[in-house]
Amino acid sequence: MSLLGEIERIKRLVAYCKRLCNTSNPFEIADQLGILYQIGNLKQEGCYMFLKNHRYIFLSDQLSREELILVMAHELGHALLDRKSNCYFIRNKTLLLNSRLERRANFFAAYLLIPDDLIAEFNGYTMEQMSLCTGYPKELIELRLK
């Protein structure tokens, strides 16, 4: 599938999740979809695992609230798009990776967390300015603006 086709599929999936769960909060979406998650002592910032036919997300207890939401959204993308793959989130590397799995999870997080009205609100801002105002990494904003 082409990149544009994948992005359109991800946009539809995000819209479906928001409609179905009546929220864009990745924790609430996971709760409603039966995706289990746990926050604890973890060397990585987050990881998704498919174990014994269940989807699990593990998150580091060292993350700030904003980082926790971003990593959860990324891992939720893996749970929904790449159900049977095990994936690890390392911020300094994962947002910059070009592997298909990581790119898809990043697009999912970008479309889940950065709605059209937020983009409209910051119309005319640079990506750096928008990043400072929203708290989202510049790389995530760049993906969302594609």
Q: Tell me what pLDDT residue 124 has.
A: 92
**Which of these, 110, 112, 107, 67, lies nearest to 90 by C-alpha position?**
67
Q: Tell me what pLDDT residue 146 has.
A: 78
Contact 47, 75 (CB under 8 A): yes
Beta strands in the chain (DSSP E): 36-40, 46-51, 54-60, 87-89
**Confidence (pTM):** 0.89
Distance CA 105, CA 95 (A): 9
Mean pLDDT of 31-50: 93
Name the band, by pLDDT with cuts 50, 70 and 90, for residue 87: low
Percentage of the chain modeled with pLDDT above 70: 90
Q: Give Cα separations from 36 to 60, 64, 87, 120 (angstroms).
A: 15, 20, 15, 34
Residue 110 has pLDDT above 70, yes or no: yes
Q: Tell me what pLDDT residue 103 has.
A: 87
Name the band, by pLDDT with cuts 50, 70 and 90, for residue 30: very high
Distance CA 13, CA 76 (A): 12
Q: Tell me what pLDDT residue 93 has.
A: 46
Name the 3-class secondary structure at 81.
helix
Distance CA 83, CA 48 (A): 9
For 62, half-sphere exposure in the C-beta direction (CA atoms, 13 angstrom radius) is: 8
Sheet bearing 54-60, strands edge to edge:
36-40, 54-60, 46-51, 87-89
| pLDDT per position as a tens digit, 125-135 | 999 999 999 99
Name the band, by pLDDT with cuts 50, 70 and 90, for residue 89: low
